[in-house]
Amino acid sequence: MADLFSFLSGLRLFKDFSKEEIHTVMRLFNRIRFDTGEVLAYEGKKGDAMFLIGEGVIKVMRETEKGVAVTLARLGEGEVIGEMALIDNGERSATLVAETKGLVYKLSRKDFNGLIAKLDPAAFKLLWSITLAGCERLREVDRQVEHYLRHPETLYEPEIRNGMDRSAVSQAVHKVMKLFRK
């Protein structure tokens, strides 16, 4: 268990946690070993847990409408997956497939909510750091949207290079811009 303690202490998610608080959350994590090729979560299914990767590599994959699986990212030791599932009841946005064997530490929403219901100091801190991670991501998405708002024509770069008609571009841009207004 000592290794889990130092592992958690080293993660940004638990940056401001006291030793005692780390011990509290430690007890809630389930250690799960996985083999190469094993699926840890399915896209579109409701998520009910957050994973911390302890060892190994996990591929984040998404199936396109044509049925082709695309690898979006490879995540390794110390990375956090699916923290949204602790907060909302939403669907998984990607499928997680083990690229190597390894292990994850799993925290279920049920246990997280239990911690909150007890008003444990660790619950306050964990809720805070998860929300902050969300804020960071929201600002990032916001910057992407802003980029499109400022330079909507960048959406059409390949076409412009290929000689797409200017008026066709501005017409298309106009149509796209309407989507950014609520």
Give the strands of the sheet with 58-63, arranged side by side: 39-41, 95-98, 58-63, 69-75
Q: How far is the CB of 13 from another protein (least distance, A)?
A: 14
* Contact call for residues 75 and 53 (beta carbons, < 8 A): yes
Q: To the nearest whole angstrom, how small is the minimum distance from the Cβ of residue 70 to another protein?
A: 5
Q: From the CB of 39, what's the least distance to another protein, in Å?
A: 15
Phi-psi region of 36 (alpha: psi -120 to 50; beta: other; left: phi over 0): beta
Residues that bind another protein (CB under 8 A): 43, 60, 62-66, 68, 70, 72-73, 84, 87-88, 90, 93-94, 116, 119, 121, 123-124, 127-128, 130-132, 134-142, 144-150, 155-156, 158-159, 161-164, 172, 175-177, 179-182
Nearer to another protein, 5 or 132 (CB): 132
d(CA 77, CA 55): 5
